[in-house]
Structure 1
Amino acid sequence: MSAPTLYGAALPASAHRLPELLDAARSAEDLGADLVTVADHPYLPTELDAWTLIPLLLARTQRVRVAPNVTALPFRTPTVIAKGAATLQATSGGRFVLGLGVGGPYDGIPGWGGAWPTLGSAISALDEAIPLIRRLWGTTPVDHDGSYYQLRDAIAGPAPDSAPPIWVGAFKPRMLAVTGRHADGWLPTNAYLSLDEVPGMQAAIDDAAREAGRDPRSVQRIFNVMGVISETEPERNDQLLVGSPGYWAEALAGYRERLGFDSFVFWPVRGDTRPQVELFFEKVRPRL
């Protein structure tokens, strides 16, 4: 069964923009957003830690879901991720979404203490970690003797009433296959792909899901759309989306109809976040 359409906003995690982050989160919720997200780039000294910001965002909102966009697995073990996610799910009334990936650009991650020296190893670890995290959300202690993780009598607890969805940020073939095998959602970003590549990427996820005995429709397709809503700047629709609210609505409808995305996260890249978020939910979303 297909997932419901969601509209969300990606908010700044920079330390000097914290008031802007909180203001935009409240405004997004008031305007009907389904989701707010923050990037997880712990290796950037200008950014606050996403897993520390998320409880603050959940406490300052009442209805929206909140997600890291996305958690870098090399810096956290599946046990710690499962425990943190279960806690956030319990304390928020079920409003947490676990965005998960391997981080990037990957060449800087080993130097910051990442668990694996190569991207290939990190992808293999993610393939092992996702089903392991789900097992850790159960009520039975977990024994696991894998290639990347070894556990004995491990349980995250408290077992969430409903498991948080796991959305994977993926672009390359092996990551797309992991998404199809294990994820509840695919969460790519326009800045890191060509729109012409998307149909093939969608097909790769579908094929991997079928091979794993899953219905491809169980994988939600959420598109991070970086760009600027502006009546004056030159229009573009590629690795950034720039244009008027009408131009945005036309582009997102095309992403839905031609590229197969069912949900969208607006990621403002210039200007103050709150006015951009307000334009998205007041002027773009109603046209869809």
Structure 2
Amino acid sequence: MRARPASSRVDFGLFLIPEADNYHELTELVTYADTAGLDLVGIQDHPYQRRFFDTWTLLTALAVRTSRLRWFPDVANLPLRNPAVLAKAVASLDIITGGRVHLGLGAGAFHDAIVAMGGPRHEGRDAVLALGEAMAVIRAMWSDERSVRVLGRFHTLDGAHPGPAPSRDPGIWLGAKGPRMLALTGYAADGWLPSSGWAPPEFLTEANKRIDEAAATAGRDPSAVRRIYNVSGAITDEGVDRGFLEGPASRWVDELTALHHDQRVDGFVFWPMEGEPFDQIRRYSEQVVPAVRAAVTA
């Protein structure tokens, strides 16, 4: 596996849960993150969860309160979001925030819950095909063409008028796990969004190979596909070490630095699994992030 050059940019961010009874704490967290040197905020998208805000509404409300953080749904639930309208929402917020929005996109899980809200049940090959068509629709809606057409089985455009265009290309990052989804990521996406809960380091090794092979087959530079890793765990006190992503700040520094160099991870989006969230996020922002940045450039 190739090591990253020392000049590679590494982004650090937070993963937020859009709990409707937690808005005040969410605003405090992003206000802190905006001044603490973090780069990204991702918000999960599960519209069928009755205790959750709508992700895009919350993302917009929080993004306009900040001045430097970049924002993305982690990941948008495609079966419940029309891709042409989603493209317009992303472009609109990108303009409003001065180019601080990315699009994380997924094929959708929890199929029964999606169907219960009136969404389609796309599984297996159909899910991958629908996602690929949606990406074509979104990119067409971000173009400067006067009229666009995309002919697909699941998603189409028939003479739609794109606009407004985003202030810069937001990119599409896929939450991909299976072989077909990983191949689609390498073939057509701008980034990959795995999560440590289902993608341990050994999975990253094999998945990176699939992405790279698909990118090369498509004539793309594999390094153009950014890897943004959702990391959930606990930053413990010194002397308390329970293993991967469950140890003191010094262990986190070593692990994230190794993931960057060995697995070519370009960014880390953190959410604590235990402890007081604000304390954990301070440890991440003040003890882990600066040390990893220094190690990467050393």
TM-score bracket, normalised by the shorter chain, equals over 0.9
Shift of 1:117: 4.3
**Which of 259, 283, 288 in structure 1 is aligned with 2:287?**
283
Secondary structure in structure 1 of the residue aligned to 2:10: coil
Q: Could you tell me which residue of structure 1 aligns to residue 158 of structure 2?
A: 152
Secondary structure in structure 2 of the residue aligned to 1:61: coil
**Which of 259, 269, 275 in structure 1 is aligned with 2:273?**
269
**Which of 41, 45, 57 in structure 2 is aligned with 1:40?**
45
**Which of 122, 126, 130 in structure 1 is aligned with 2:131?**
126
Secondary structure in structure 2 of the residue aligned to 1:191: coil
**Which of 259, 262, 274 in structure 1 is aligned with 2:263?**
259
Shift of 1:107: 4.8
Q: Could you tell me which residue of structure 2 aligns to residue 249 of structure 1?
A: 253
User: CA–CA distance in 2 between the matches of 1:139 and 1:101?
Assistant: 25
Q: Could you tell me which residue of structure 2 aligns to residue 236 of structure 1?
A: 243
Contact 2:71 2:102 in 1 (8 A): yes
Contact 2:142 2:165 in 1 (8 A): yes
The code of the aligned residue for 1:270 comes to E
The code of the aligned residue for 2:291 comes to R
RMSD after superposition: 1.8
Contact 2:137 2:155 in 1 (8 A): no
Secondary structure in structure 1 of the residue aligned to 2:197: helix
Percent identity over the alignment is: 39
Contact 2:229 2:269 in 1 (8 A): yes
The code of the aligned residue for 1:113 comes to G
1:3–1:100 CA distance, 2 compared to 1 (3 A): farther
**Which of 189, 200, 209 in structure 2 is aligned with 1:203?**
209
User: CA–CA distance in 2 between the matches of 1:220 and 1:274?
Assistant: 28
1:108–1:195 CA distance, 2 compared to 1 (3 A): farther
Secondary structure in structure 2 of the residue aligned to 1:67: strand
Deviation digits for residues 122-166 of structure 1 (CA, Å, limit 9, x no counterpart): 221001111221111112211222111232211331012312121
User: CA–CA distance in 2 between the matches of 1:41 and 1:186?
Assistant: 19
Shift of 1:195: 2.3
TM-score, length basis structure 2: 0.90
Q: Could you tell me which residue of structure 2 aligns to residue 24 of structure 1?
A: 29
Deviation digits for residues 141-196 of structure 1 (CA, Å, limit 9, x no counterpart): 11222111232211331012312121111111011011111111111100012321
Structural mapping, 1:70-219, within 5 Å: 70-140=75-145, 141-219=147-225
Residue ranges of structure 2 left out of the alignment (5+ in a row)? 293-298
Contact 1:167 1:183 in 2 (8 A): yes
Contact 1:13 1:39 in 2 (8 A): yes
Shift of 1:50: 0.8
User: CA–CA distance in 1 between the matches of 2:246 and 2:196?
Assistant: 12
User: CA–CA distance in 1 between the matches of 2:240 and 2:23?
Assistant: 27
Secondary structure in structure 2 of the residue aligned to 1:135: helix
The code of the aligned residue for 2:15 comes to A
Shift of 1:11: 1.8
User: CA–CA distance in 2 between the matches of 1:110 and 1:130?
Assistant: 22
Count of paired positions: 285
